[in-house]
Amino acid sequence: MTALQLKNISFGYRKNEKVLDSVNLSVEKGTVYGFLGANGAGKTTTIRLILGLLKAKDGHIKLFEKDIKDVYPKGLKQVGSLVESPSIYGHLSAKDNLKIWCKNFNIPQSRIFEVLEEVNLSDTKNKKTSNFSTGMKQRLGLAISLLHNPEFLILDEPINGLDPMGIIEFRKIILEQKEKGRTILLSSHILSEVEKMVDRIGILKNGKIVFEGSISDLEKLRQKDVQLKIKVDDVKRTIPLIGERNVNEVDRNYIHCVIANESEIPGLIEKLVSEKIKVFEFSQLSSDLENMFINVANE
């Protein structure tokens, strides 16, 4: 079953502006979907459209196979969300913040303690949230989104501003939610972190989906190309030897490039040496999601 489906979604804040251009994506029930893209790519806009905060100009959004227009706002009962920074009343404690949502959703207040436990905030339930750290606020935001036991979690940049410990803790919580069978859409630009949590990813660039697939699809891409970092004395003479198309980035004496196969490396080194180019460094970069993302986004 598809938890979320976007079909040809286009949107612009002004006439003739296209923040999103025919975006298609689908999130299967019970999976974690990583929604990736650089800042300004249109991730938050997409999430706002899904949640009904904005209205799409073209296309359809289906939530659990029903058009969002037909089920809005009641259909959002199945959705828990955290859009950018968490919405928290700073003058209240974590418990009181959750009490508000308990009353709104008409659910027993015993649920407060369950979600506080889930996000590891039980010890600070009575502390004023204005005194919370960024990580604690994010976790409380997540607790609010979990409170009504939604089937589907939509989290927009939830690890933004978290320190490494905070990121590890947050990841653990997300993985626990995944184990509980929840469907999760997770947007981020911190790619290496998303890689550890998601089943499928979609990469958004300038309002268009430029890659969508499973982690194993990504692995295939990873095996296909070899990323190199070369430091030479003459960049200008080196580039034509590597092939201009293969060069991703030039940073002073460093060239970042891609070759199709590992077996091409000895030949390339020989070619550079025979042309009397001094090679100071020649390293193969690990082709993690971060590099894949840069490649896909640059294509």
Binding site residues, other proteins, CB under 8 A:
48, 51-54, 73-77, 79, 81, 83-92, 96, 99-101, 103-106, 144
Q: Which is nearer to other proteins, 56 or 191 (CB)?
A: 56
Q: Which is nearer to other proteins, 26 or 78 (CB)?
A: 78
Q: Which is nearer to other proteins, 141 or 203 (CB)?
A: 141
Q: Which is nearer to other proteins, 63 or 167 (CB)?
A: 63
* Least CB distance to other proteins at residue 52 (A): 7
3-class SS string, 37-62: ECCCCCHHHHHHHHCCCCCCCEEEEE
Distance CA 229, CA 122 (A): 48
* Least CB distance to other proteins at residue 151 (A): 13
Distance CA 179, CA 262 (A): 38
* Least CB distance to other proteins at residue 48 (A): 8
Q: Which is nearer to other proteins, 100 or 168 (CB)?
A: 100
* Least CB distance to other proteins at residue 23 (A): 19
Distance CA 286, CA 227 (A): 7
Q: Which is nearer to other proteins, 46 or 227 (CB)?
A: 46
The answer to whether the Cα torsion of 221, 224, 229, 233 is positive or negative is negative
Token code pair at residue 209: 């989906």
* Least CB distance to other proteins at residue 77 (A): 4
Q: Which is nearer to other proteins, 84 or 290 (CB)?
A: 84
* Least CB distance to other proteins at residue 51 (A): 4
* Least CB distance to other proteins at residue 225 (A): 40
